[in-house]
Amino acid sequence: MGGGGNLVDGVRRWLFFQRRPSSSSSSNNHDQIQNPPTVSNPNDDEDLKKLTDPSKLRQIKVQQRNHLPMEKKGIPNAEFFTEYGEANRYQIQEVVGKGSYGVVGSAIDTHTGERVAIKKINDVFDHISDATRILREIKLLRLLLHPDVVEIKHIMLPPSRREFRDVYVVFELMESDLHQVIKANDDLTPEHHQFFLYQLLRGLKYVHAANVFHRDLKPKNILANADCKLKICDFGLARVSFNDAPTAIFWTDYVATRWYRAPELCGSFFSKYTPAIDIWSVGCIFAEMLLGKPLFPGKNVVHQLDIMTDFLGTPPPEAISKIRNDKARRYLGNMRKKQPVPFSKKFPKADPSALRLLERLIAFDPKDRPSAEEALADPYFNGLSSKVREPSTQPISKLEFEFERKKLTKDDIRELIYREILEYHPQMLEEYLRGGNQLSFMYPSGVDRFRRQFAHLEENQGPGGRSNALQRQHASLPRERVPASKNETVEERSNDIERRTTAAVASTLDSPKASQQAEGTENGGGGGYSARNLMKSSSISGSKCIGVQSKTNIEDSIVEEQDETVAVKVASLHNS
């Protein structure tokens, strides 16, 4: 079984800090030198490693990938290799995942013999919002160095500074994700539950200390190895919080996938975000480990609020007042009184101390949820938690995220992404910092070869570019269409698809005209609130998604097209 050893991780990270090439050049790294991240002890994870000893913590089942060499798939290796640059460094093997932004392939790093995951992101600059998301993700992952956060090991140098379109990001390779682990292991023990939650909270403590909110935590965004190691990934929706930043979330600012979305965000995409939204998501993920299925699988926002309150009871008025969206707030305010269900009834087999912590994590009112650090100090982790193993860090420098406040052109973002890539190419970075306009000529690069290799992999691995051997699915949102997996339920898919329709929700919620119209038609202009009313306005994304099962791709693209049109309108409203 592959998978990252914790001690090995620790050593690697320690070495990484020692050799970080561009420390003196980037504003962020300047910060890091002044305030070095505290994961500097190579033995940091030594105690955790002991816990992953099979006699204490049994290995979990992960989907086995069939590592056939490319030749066996009818792709002669020689065809893909060129003689120069980094081209020969990575030997691509197979497709291991697919998300809305690209395909992820496994590969061997021939320099180190390590197995890596390479994410190919195509046509990065077609949409500014996508390019910004990618810039944000690669920047954050460069800055967030922690054993519980997936690591970018390298980014391939594009052939041309001014014309490149694709980006190839090399990650450490993980064997599966938590969604698959929960599905494949119906015999997880209390030790597994505790160890998984511990890692999630430990990673989150570090991420929150950097002032970063992930905002899309869900089992599919937690990578996993058979040795029980977890790592948080997919920071594309994350945000760095600066005190002076505007509090409104704009339409491009998608929030967490519905099932894991905190109640204060339900029905509202214009709320201030706080670290407590990630804590809620971690609570939902923890509950899913205990239950073996999602805790709040809402079919739409109304249903989401209904099932949350069925379990937690109707919240007190001060908690309801924190819901930003008028309609959701009034819907809850007018809801019949419900009593909370005892956690021990819902989770009869769970350890009572696990449930006491869970109850805190999914408190309806965000102010009642503990911070990640506080949660780590919960008695549930007695004997496991220890401050020295739970590093913190300094907030990320504002300078790194100046781009979030500016209106950027495609060329600006291309330059910023290029600059990020140079962090992995120290010599070229030096040249660039010396005034390297000369960098605009074509550099030899492995990227062209990669493009061809990935194309072959996708062509040769069946519909949607999936290897037949690969069962792991992720229903994330297709820019390119990803066919629904056989194993994936309608709800799982509709839950993810909702993110695509956020723009439509935002338009309805944000535009006074639109919401007046919705209210007017629904209520004859009156102020009564019904689930139907809420559905028609604040959760149209949810209602759109209910019928996803029978939709053809064409119908899907109509939905997406409509959303894009609305999104553009909303964007122009904001920009005007």
Ligand X SMILES: Nc1ncnc2c1ncn2[C@@H]1O[C@H](COP(=O)(O)OP(=O)(O)OP(=O)(O)O)[C@@H](O)[C@H]1O
Sign of CA dihedral 489, 490, 491, 497: positive
Q: Residue 225's closest CA among 44, 61, 47, 58?
A: 61
Taking residues 63 to 82 in sequence order and writing x for each that binds ligand X by CB under 6 A, - otherwise, the string is --------------------
333 burial level (CB within 10 Å; 0-12, 13-18, 19+): middle
| Rounded least distance, CB 522 to ligand X, Å | 34
260, 217 Cβ separation under 8 angstroms: yes
Taking residues 460 to 489 in sequence order and writing x for each that binds ligand X by CB under 6 A, - otherwise, the string is ------------x-x-xx------------
DSSP 522: H
Distances (CA, A) of 114 to 110, 380, 561: 7, 36, 42
Cα 496 to chain centroid distance, Å, stands at 12
Stretch that binds ligand X, among 76-84, 140-148, 228-236, 537-545 (CB under 6 A): 228-236
Task: Kindly state whether residue 219 participates in binding ligand X, applying the rule CB under 6 A.
Answer: no
| Rounded least distance, CB 297 to ligand X, Å | 18
Task: Kindly state whether residue 177 participates in binding ligand X, applying the rule CB under 6 A.
Answer: yes
Q: Which is nearer to ligand X, 174 or 571 (CB)?
A: 174
Task: Kindly state whether residue 295 participates in binding ligand X, applying the rule CB under 6 A.
Answer: no
Number of residues in contact with ligand X under rule CB under 6 A: 25
From candidates 70, 140, 143, 150, binder to ligand X by CB under 6 A: 150
Task: Kindly state whether residue 171 participates in binding ligand X, applying the rule CB under 6 A.
Answer: yes
From candidates 3, 37, 97, 219, binder to ligand X by CB under 6 A: 97
The values of phi and psi at residue 232, to 5°, are -75, 135
Task: Kindly state whether residue 282 participates in binding ligand X, applying the rule CB under 6 A.
Answer: no
Residue type, 107: A
Task: Kindly state whether residue 101 participates in binding ligand X, applying the rule CB under 6 A.
Answer: yes
| Rounded least distance, CB 167 to ligand X, Å | 12
Q: Which is nearer to ligand X, 375 or 421 (CB)?
A: 421
Task: Kindly state whether residue 326 participates in binding ligand X, applying the rule CB under 6 A.
Answer: no
| Rounded least distance, CB 99 to ligand X, Å | 2
Instruction: State both tokens at 151.
Output: 């690591």
Cα 433 to chain centroid distance, Å, stands at 32
Interface of this chain with ligand X, residues 26 to 55, rule: CB under 6 A: none
476, 483 Cβ separation under 8 angstroms: no
**CA Rg, the chain, in Å?**
23
Rounded to 10°, the helix 490-500/553-575 angle is 30
Three-state DSSP class for residue 56:
coil
Q: Which residues are annotated as a binding site?
A: 96-104, 119
Contacts with ligand X by CB under 6 A lie at 96-102, 104, 117, 119, 150, 171-174, 177, 220, 223, 233-234, 236, 472, 474, 476-477
Q: Which residues are annotated as a binding site for ATP?
A: 96-104, 119
